[in-house]
Each structure stands twice: as C-alpha cells, then as structure tokens.
Amino acid sequence: MMSPGNLSDGDLLSKIRSLAVEERKLTTQVLELLREVERRRLFARQGFSSLFEYAVKELGYSEASASRRINSMRLLKDVPSVATLIEGGSLNLSTVSAVQCFLKREERVKGKIYSPEEKQDLLGKMENRSHRECEKILFQLSPEVAKSKETSRTVSPTQTELKLVVSDDLMQKIEKIKGLLAHSHPGIGLSGLLEVLVDRALEQIDPARKAARREKLKRKSDGKREPATPTSESPNERPASRYIPAAIRKEVWLRDGGVCSYVSPETGKKCESHFGLECDPILPFSQGGRSELSNLRLLCRTHNSWEAIQKIGAPTMGRYLRL
C-alpha cells in the first residue's frame, strides 16, 4: 500500500472509507467463523475450556474485544440481519454486545425471554445511536436489569477491579457479616471480606483441600489405628459400576492436581481449567470401564462434553448440549 503521506486528500479519504467498509465486512466474517467454531466445539479440541479463552489466548483478542465478539456472535444466531447492520455501519460491536448482555440479564433476573422478532425490534431502536444513547434506551426498558451489569478489569499484574450492583438485602447481609467478623478482622473492607469468605468456601467445597485435610488427619492417627482387615476382593475383581468410591475420587483429584487433565492431541496444550470438574472414565462404563484410578481422569465440563461427543457422537449428544 502506498504510504499515506504520499496520497492526495481525496485519495486518502477514499482509501480510509473503503478500508472501514472492508473492516466491517471482515468483522462479520469473524463472527460467522466464531459461530461455527463454537458449534463444532473446536476450541475444546484445541485444549481450551471455553470459546472466550480460545479467543483471548489463541486469537490474541483482549478480554473486552473477545467478549464483544462472542456476545455479538450469539445475537447473530437469532437475528441474522445483525451482520448487514454491522457491515452498513448502523450498528457496532459495542452496541450489539450491550444488547445481548441486556437480553441475558433480562432472562436471568426477570425470566423474560425475547423472541427473534422482539430482538430485531430492539436492535432497530439502537441503529445510528451512540453507546450512551443505547444505554439510556435499555435503562428505560428495564432499570433494574440495565443497572445490574457486572464487569471486571485488570488494573495491575496482580490486581483486578470488580464492579457490580447488589440489592439492599444482599448489602445488609454483607454488613452483618462484617459486624460478626469485627473482633477477628477489625476494619475489614469489602476486598478483605470477599477473600475471607472465598477461602472459607474453598475449605468446604474444594475437593483438593478436603483431600489434603483428610490426609493430614490420617497421618496423625495412623499410629492409633488397628490394621485394616484385608478383603478377598481385589480392585480388579470389583464389578463394573458407575459408582466411584470417595477414596478413588480423592486419588484422582490428587493425581491430576485438581485441574482438567485434557491435552489437545493437535497442539499439546493442557486445559487445566477448574470449572465444573468431573471424574470421567477413559473407557466408558457402558463399554466395561471400571471405577478405578487407571480408568479415571479429571475433566472440566467442556472437555467432559467434548469426550462424550467423540465417543457417543454429536447426534446423540445434541439432545443434551446446544450444538
């Protein structure tokens, strides 16, 4: 491309207009491709636990850019005309993403589900308007939902800013907890309070922490226990069952480090997600797989579904998943 400094005024303005049009067309193509990647769950095959993680770590988008594109893509599924509106410049990704977030909050908070026609009408009200004008329209439609937006923003290598709106009822509960902790944690702020509550919750629900606690107690009491009576049934003689004993689950968690163990055969990337972890049989129980350590692994919800698709097939799993 010729250096911009060598272009005449007319050529410069013409060039940037044509590139802006081309950029919007490329944007809609990216949305269509993201839609197909999600439909095929190819992000899972590549070792990512979500389409968002794939867009950030593989495609190189910032977190905000990835969110805008994924939200816009999902609205595009229901309202195909979104592509035409973006290409024509009457809507941009920020506006489309804001509308999609509003619709999801409407569903979550109020149980209201918009039809494709209602979504189309709502988008029509947003055309050729600034982002601030669009926010006002959404606020007028549903003040309590429009205000409930939650955001997170990285402010330093070790800190993230959280922004959310809470109800008066929840705020009263927060203040009550602060009061109950006043002796042990005087002057505790919201950040400190959140850390205390999260640590306590993890102590209760994190299998890795519970297993470590049990192991510590076991070591303390080993000298006081009588030797266990051996049984005649060896692990290999155990009948095939879908039930996984707690002791076996603990071993799987400890061995896999409390993270998803899926490794992409194409990229070698290990998932390591903590989300929705499940003990998954390598050889399915329906095919004779046993509830023993060598046949079990930790998989996140995404890769548990991915493995099920590979073994059972997309047509069957499509009844349980949105493919």
- pLDDT of 116 reads 94
For 219, the token pair is 């070591």
H or E segment to which residue 312 belongs = helix 301-312
- For 257-285, what is each residue's pLDDT tens digit? 989 999 999 999 999 998 888 899 998 88
Query: Which residues, in sequence order, are CB contacts of 149 under 8 Å at separation 6+?
Result: 101, 105, 163, 164, 165
What Rg value do the Cα atoms of the chain yield, rounded? Answer: 26
> Which whole-number Å values give the CA distances from 179 to 129, 163, 189, in the listed order?
46, 23, 11
Which amino acid appears at position 252 of this protein? Answer: V
- pLDDT of 252 reads 93
Domains of the chain with bracketed CATH: 4-152 (no CATH), 166-181+190-203 (no CATH), 239-317 (1.10.30)
Q: Which DSSP symbol is given to 152?
A: E
Candidates 25, 18, 15; CA nearest to 88 is 25
pTM here?
A: 0.72
Q: Which DSSP symbol is given to 294?
A: G
Query: Which residues, in sequence order, are CB contacts of 147 under 8 Å at separation 6+?
Result: 139, 165
- For 102-118, what is each residue's pLDDT tens digit? 999 999 888 999 999 99
Segments in the chain below pLDDT 70: 1, 146-149, 223-241, 316-323
Quote the Cα angle for 194-195-198, to 5°: 85
